[in-house]
Amino acid sequence: MGFSLIPKEEKFFDLFETQASHNVEAAKAFKELAQKWSLESPIFDKLRDIEHEADITTHEIIDKLNRTFVTPLDREDIHELASELDDVVDIIQSVSSRMQLYHVNHSSDDLVQMSDILWQATENVRKAVGSLKDMSNSRRLLDYCIEINRLENAGDHGLQVAISKLFSGQPDPLEVIKWKEIYEGLEAATDKCEDIANTIEGIVVKHG
């Protein structure tokens, strides 16, 4: 039997925090890329590295979950949270990779603004995840979640503005195909932060 009967509660929370930090790091790097766009930027490689590190952390959590008999949170909540946290960095990296592949030769104000919102969302996710260990302060935790919801709405609005501009006039259809995917990808990352907030809210209620 590979099960450990002694719960190592702290370790799960530490690993969630590591995941959340990877997300902040990736969102910050992407924002910098959007601000100073260059197809030769070292940030593309940096994002690949972060994604790789994040992947290792996620596997560590899932593996620990499968080997641990008594867990500090419901098993399905641990699985959900780990997967959702992993998705954020995955999406950010894949958007940057697609932009490189498309030889996108400029950024846009909308991209900068959307990446700023995403970065703020990941910061609030990191704070919320960091507060999971001590659920006595559930008010603070829920405040972070409310802020993430606000940012997701802002991200959604940002996407609508960007898409509206993208289709206005007589745009090049190939540019539309590329940028629609880029903007929708970035919004999906912010959306995923809201999923994380919902998962955290659920955890708080169960332990409330």
Applying CB under 8 A, the residues found at the interface with a second copy are 1-2, 62-63, 66-67, 76, 97-98, 101-103, 160, 163-164, 167, 171, 173-174, 176-178, 180, 198, 202, 205-206, 208
Smaller CB separation from a second copy, 32 or 102: 102
Please provide the DSSP assignment of 149-160 as one string.
HHHHHHHHHHHH
Residues with Cβ < 8 Å from 11, sequence gap 6 or more? 64
Q: Which is nearer to a second copy, 13 or 102 (CB)?
A: 102
Kindly state the smallest distance separating residue 55's Cβ from a second copy, in Å.
Answer: 11
Q: Which is nearer to a second copy, 36 or 206 (CB)?
A: 206
Spatial CB neighbours of 86, under 8 Å, sequence gap ≥ 6: 19, 54, 55, 58
Nearest approach in angstroms of CB 28 to a second copy is 25
| Shortest separation between residue 24's beta carbon and a second copy, angstroms | 25
47 in Cβ contact with 113 (< 8 Å): no
Q: Which of 94, 112, 106 is nearest to 44 (CA)?
A: 94
Whichever of 51 and 123 has its CB closer to a second copy, that residue is 51
Helices (H) and strands (E) in the chain, counts: 6, 0
Nearest approach in angstroms of CB 206 to a second copy is: 5
